[in-house]
Amino acid sequence: MKIRITETVIEYPGDDLTAWNSGDKKKLLEGHNPPQDVFNQPTYHFGEYFVLNYFKKAQWSGYRFYALGEWEPNNPKVLEGREKINEKFTFQKLQEFRKQRVLSGHAAGQGEPDLFLYMESGPTLFLEVKKGGDKVSPAQLTCLAQIKAILEADVGIVYLVNYGQQYKPKTYELNLETFEGCLLVSPEEKSNVSNVSV
């Protein structure tokens, strides 16, 4: 079975990014308990916390730091998120998921989505967050396919743009049997590529 997911485009105010990069993170971190990494890497993690807050307005709770696998069992920054994962998914599903992660060569967490979101009423959602020139990697597509197929959680890709920026969302196809994924290219885009002279 194959599914398609199209990027969700979310606009952010440029002032929020400027404040974050200059060290003023209080607006986006309110209500969160980030690890020291967020402060040690001043220009990282803006997108993830902006999207966490965006979904919080729609009644989602969630984590930037969590672990789907059994890697780093004593890492304090993922403990709370890992506990919520264990609460939301059955032991059997998690074991099957972890087995497939090992078989695909990603047992140490490579490719796990940036965010794990949930609602107390039951729904769960894993999101990969991109901005600027960031691209979705094959490992990330594999993990999204494994999450959807085995954990039966919703998955998505968010692309962040500055207010007013033009951006055409990309569509990806995930194979829920082989756990592979690819970027879909429209016929128009294919013809543009073939008409480019070098």
pLDDT tens, position by position, 136-160: 999 999 999 999 999 999 999 999 9
- Rounded Cα–Cα distance for residues 61 and 162 (Å): 24
Does residue 195 register a pLDDT over 90?
no
Q: Return the residue matching tokens 């691209």.
A: 135
**Cα 61 to Cα 191: distance, rounded to the nearest angstrom:** 43
For residue 190, what pLDDT band results from cuts at 50, 70 and 90?
A: low
Q: Closest Cα to residue 117, out of 38, 31, 58?
A: 58
Instruction: Please indicate, yes or no, whether the overall pTM of this predicted structure exceeds 0.75.
Output: yes
pLDDT at 124: 98
pLDDT category, 193, cuts 50, 70, 90?
Answer: very low
Q: Where are the alpha helices (DSSP H) in 43-118?
A: 46-56, 76-88, 91-103
